[in-house]
Structure 1
Amino acid sequence: MLQLTVTPQSALVDEPLQIQLTGLHPSQLVTFRASLINEKGLLFQSRAFYRASEAGEVDLEKASALGGDYVGVHPMGLFWTLKPQKVFSRLMKRDVINTPYYVKLEVYNSAVLDFSVEDQPLISTTVERWYAGAGVKRIQIREGRVRGALFLPPGKGPFPGIIDMFGGIGGLVEFRASLLASRGFTVLALAYFGYEDLPKDALEVDLEYFEEATNLLLKHPMVLGPGIGVIAISKGAEIGLSMAVHLKHITALVCINGPNIILGGAHKYQNQYFQTTLPDNEKMRIEYFGLLSMYHAVEMIQGKAVRNVLPVEKFQGHILFIVGENDKNYNSKAFAEEAMEQLKKHGKNNGMLLSYPGAGHLIEPPYSPLCFASWNPSFPFPLLWGGKYISHAAAQEHSWGEIQKFFRHHLIQNRAPKL
């Protein structure tokens, strides 16, 4: 009797699954297909070909995929190779509390190259992938100028507090914040442009807005204090680094694929303006398939005086730089290496760099699909992010554990006593 078993059937998106198929003929060739419909009604799908063992079984923890979207032993490969039917669409969960992604897993006889309505699976099941664990609470934040969503873990607390920011996409992005809250952090997903009554763009960054958000989070009874952490990617990482330099309550900072310069928008703090370095528009390139690459427009030019390097050596807390060496948006590795060198020159050892070969720009929680390129509201062409499936997936899995260890170490074990 054919049986498809997935354990657990319902889990957080950063949890691996055990997928086993039994009851096949010995050496039978089958196609595994994963698919989901996102909140906009768009289809994402993946497939891989497997051959059953002599016992008529396929265990994805042991079996090697023969082809399809990946080759080799990759138990979660069907998840991190999910691709959009509508090209350059990014899978990004909006309602993180009330609904999961429902991922349908189907098995077809032989190797199916193109799926049609006539194809009938031998067996199928559906799994739930959640972005918030049981008991996580979401609170909409509209206090003073601050706009965002606060996520509280279950339990009495207090818990270490983190501000979570994304990059040039704008708006309010919550999926990483809700997942961190599920892992025991009080997290403020912070919008800073392109949302409600906030500025339409990030051409001028007012650090006092982020100071207000920091103070709001710190005063919450579910936040441990006396300092908080910041996790941010791309433009958000640039702002996070600037926050660390100027705001005293930032204790731990995770920068994912961001610059160590003020890039494309001045920063303002207490009536002081910190000038920007503008990308060299002549060096923007349209790559294959009409994708816009920012890489050469913002690449590092050592010793170029006009660049406004952030004085990272002023930060009294700890920094974790996470970079993808196949990032096609920024030369993130060079940015991070220069920041690490700045710290070293000033006799500081409060920085750590994790550099991942083959990883792209959008390093997200484990088992998230690689987004090689996607549309951005600020540009007329899809932006190229980079990344290679297997390497990128490994980077996401490893960095997620390191991020949590980093925050727990510097926001709990090493925290200074409250005054």
Structure 2
Amino acid sequence: MIQLQVTPETSLADTPVKIHVCGLAPAQLVTLQASLTDERGVQFQARAFYYADEAGEVDVEQAAAVGGDYVGVWPMGLFWFLKPEKLFYRLMRRDVMSGPFCIQLDLFDSCQPFPSPQVVPLATCTLERWYVSPGVERVPIKEGRVRGALFLPPGPGPFPGVIDMFGGAGGLIEFRAGLLASQGFAVLALAFFAYDDLPRVLVEMDMEYFEEAADLLLKHPKVRGPGLGVIGVSKGAEVTLAMAAFLKQVVAAVWINGMSFLYGNPLRYRGVHIPHIPYCPEKMLITETGALDNYHVFKDPRDPAHVAAAIPVEKAQAEVLFVVGEADRNFNSKLFAELAIERMKSHGKKNYTLLSYPGAGHLIEPPGSPLCSISGIRGSPRPVHWGGEPEAHAKAQEHSWQEILKFLKRHLGPTSNM
């Protein structure tokens, strides 16, 4: 009897699963296919072809895919290589509390590049991929000027606190906060524009807003101080670095593919004003796919005329983890990380760590997320090119996520009291 087994069938989205097939004929060629439909009704699929071993089994942890969406040994390949049926869609859980992504796994006989509804699978199963573990609580935040959502692990705490931010699309994105809370952190998913009654566009980086958010998190009875962590990607990483430089509350900062100079928006904080470098929209390119390539929109920060726009990262007392995708097409994040580290070194600072990944793109996310190299974004007239190569990006996400978790636990303290 042919059996398709997935262990565990219910898990967090960043957790590996084991896929095993038995009951096949020796050397039988089969297709494994993963399918899910997101909250917008867009279907994502991945498929790979495998030969059964002499015992008539396929163990995806050890067997090499011989074709499909990837080749070689990729235990989580059916998740990492999911592709949308429509161009330029990003797989992202928007309402993490409403339930999991349900992924259907089908096993087909022989090579089935595009199985039709008339093709009956040899075996099938459904698994759940959650972005919050049981007992995690989501609390909407609308206090003072601060807007966002607080994710609290189950139990009395206190838990180490983290502020989580995303980038230039604005709004509130919560899936990473849910996963971090599932690891034992109290996480404030923080919006800073284009959400609720916040400004629709980002005019300036008001550090007093982020200081208010830090104080709000630290005063919560389930949050363990005295310091907190911050994690951000893209524009959120720019904010993260500025928070590390100016706010004493921040003791650990994770910067993912951001900038170390102010672009598009000046910074203000208690009488301090840092000017910004204006964008060069005339250098925007349109790729053959019709997507925007913004790589050259950002003026060279090494120009002496722009030195005043540098974030004074040498002031940071926090430990800073720089996570770089070297194939980032949004901007040269590797250069920005190197310039920040060079500035820290020149002031005798050693409170930095660099993780740099060849082939990884802009959107480095937890490992349950497939590569999104192009997607639409709020406020952009066309989809935006993020870059990245599927295999290298998948490995970067797997490695960097574990390093981020270790970094936060090392500098914020243990999470074992959840």
TM-score by length of 1: 0.96
Q: Which residue of 2 aligns with 1:409?
A: 410
Q: Which residue of 2 aligns with 1:356?
A: 357
Alpha-carbon distance in 2 for matches of 1:275, 1:92: 34
Alpha-carbon distance in 1 for matches of 2:406, 2:62: 29
- Contact 1:257–1:361 (CA under 8 A) maintained in structure 2: yes
Q: CA deviation at 1:381?
A: 1.1
Equivalences, count:
413
Q: Tell me: CA distance 1:390–1:106, structure 2 relative to 1, closer, same or farther (3 Å).
A: same
Matched, 1:207 2:207: yes
Alpha-carbon distance in 2 for matches of 1:60, 1:201: 46
Alpha-carbon distance in 1 for matches of 2:306, 2:7: 55
Q: Which residue of 1 aligns with 2:189?
A: 189
- Contact 1:299–1:330 (CA under 8 A) maintained in structure 2: no
- Specify the code of the residue in structure 1 equivalent to 2:349: K
Q: CA deviation at 1:54?
A: 1.7
Alpha-carbon distance in 2 for matches of 1:151, 1:325: 32
Alpha-carbon distance in 2 for matches of 1:396, 1:156: 31
Alpha-carbon distance in 2 for matches of 1:79, 1:288: 27
- Contact 1:245–1:311 (CA under 8 A) maintained in structure 2: yes
Q: Which residue of 1 aligns with 2:46?
A: 46
Write the mapping of 1:277-288 to structure 2, written as runs, cut at 5 A: 277-288=277-288
Q: Which residue of 1 aligns with 2:345?
A: 344
Alpha-carbon distance in 1 for matches of 2:410, 2:82: 34
- Contact 2:367–2:401 (CA under 8 A) maintained in structure 1: yes
Q: Which residue of 2 aligns with 1:114?
A: 114
- Contact 1:157–1:223 (CA under 8 A) maintained in structure 2: yes
Alpha-carbon distance in 2 for matches of 1:120, 1:196: 47
- Specify the code of the residue in structure 2 equivalent to 1:151: F
Q: CA deviation at 1:95?
A: 1.7
Q: Which residue of 2 aligns with 1:400?
A: 401
- Specify the code of the residue in structure 1 equivalent to 2:322: F
Q: Tell me: CA distance 1:299–1:278, structure 2 relative to 1, closer, same or farther (3 Å).
A: closer
Q: Which residue of 2 aligns with 1:320?
A: 321
Structure 1 residue matching 2:236: 3-state secondary structure = helix
- Specify the code of the residue in structure 2 equivalent to 1:315: A
- Contact 1:140–1:150 (CA under 8 A) maintained in structure 2: yes
Alpha-carbon distance in 2 for matches of 1:378, 1:207: 23
1:329-381 deviation line (CA, Å, top 9, x unaligned): 11111100110010100001001110011111000001311101100112111
Q: Which residue of 1 aligns with 2:9?
A: 9
Q: Tell me: CA distance 1:18–1:374, structure 2 relative to 1, closer, same or farther (3 Å).
A: same
- Contact 2:280–2:299 (CA under 8 A) maintained in structure 1: no
Alpha-carbon distance in 1 for matches of 2:203, 2:113: 47
Write the mapping of 1:146-185 to structure 2, written as runs, cut at 5 A: 146-185=146-185
Matched, 1:386 2:387: yes
Alpha-carbon distance in 1 for matches of 2:59, 2:338: 41
Alpha-carbon distance in 1 for matches of 2:255, 2:147: 21
Structure 1 residue matching 2:395: 3-state secondary structure = helix
- Contact 2:229–2:251 (CA under 8 A) maintained in structure 1: yes
Structure 2 residue matching 1:241: 3-state secondary structure = helix
Q: Which residue of 1 aligns with 2:233?
A: 233
Q: CA deviation at 1:262?
A: 0.6
- Contact 1:25–1:56 (CA under 8 A) maintained in structure 2: yes
Alpha-carbon distance in 1 for matches of 2:92, 2:28: 36
- Specify the code of the residue in structure 2 equivalent to 1:130: W
Q: Which residue of 2 aligns with 1:333?
A: 334
Q: CA deviation at 1:156?
A: 2.2
Q: Which residue of 1 aligns with 2:30?
A: 30
Alpha-carbon distance in 2 for matches of 1:335, 1:392: 19
Consecutive unaligned residues of structure 1, counting only runs of 5 or more, are 414-419
Consecutive unaligned residues of structure 2, counting only runs of 5 or more, are none
Write the mapping of 1:267-306 to structure 2, written as runs, cut at 5 A: 267-298=267-298, 300-306=300-306
Q: CA deviation at 1:42?
A: 0.8
- Contact 2:108–2:120 (CA under 8 A) maintained in structure 1: yes
Alpha-carbon distance in 2 for matches of 1:301, 1:155: 46
Q: CA deviation at 1:407?
A: 1.0
- Contact 1:300–1:331 (CA under 8 A) maintained in structure 2: no
- Contact 1:300–1:334 (CA under 8 A) maintained in structure 2: no
TM-score by length of 2: 0.97
Q: CA deviation at 1:86?
A: 1.1
- Contact 2:277–2:299 (CA under 8 A) maintained in structure 1: no
Alpha-carbon distance in 1 for matches of 2:180, 2:381: 33
- Contact 2:92–2:369 (CA under 8 A) maintained in structure 1: no
- Specify the code of the residue in structure 1 equivalent to 2:182: S
Q: CA deviation at 1:278?
A: 1.5
Aligned Cα RMSD in Å? 1.2
Alpha-carbon distance in 2 for matches of 1:86, 1:196: 29
Write the mapping of 1:125-164 to structure 2, written as runs, cut at 5 A: 125-164=125-164
1:47-66 deviation line (CA, Å, top 9, x unaligned): 11111112111110011000
Q: CA deviation at 1:158?
A: 0.7
Deviates more, 1:301-310 or 1:185-194: 301-310
- Contact 2:230–2:250 (CA under 8 A) maintained in structure 1: yes
- Contact 1:50–1:65 (CA under 8 A) maintained in structure 2: yes
- Contact 2:266–2:273 (CA under 8 A) maintained in structure 1: yes
Alpha-carbon distance in 1 for matches of 2:119, 2:333: 44
Structure 1 residue matching 2:180: 3-state secondary structure = helix
Q: Which residue of 2 aligns with 1:266?
A: 266
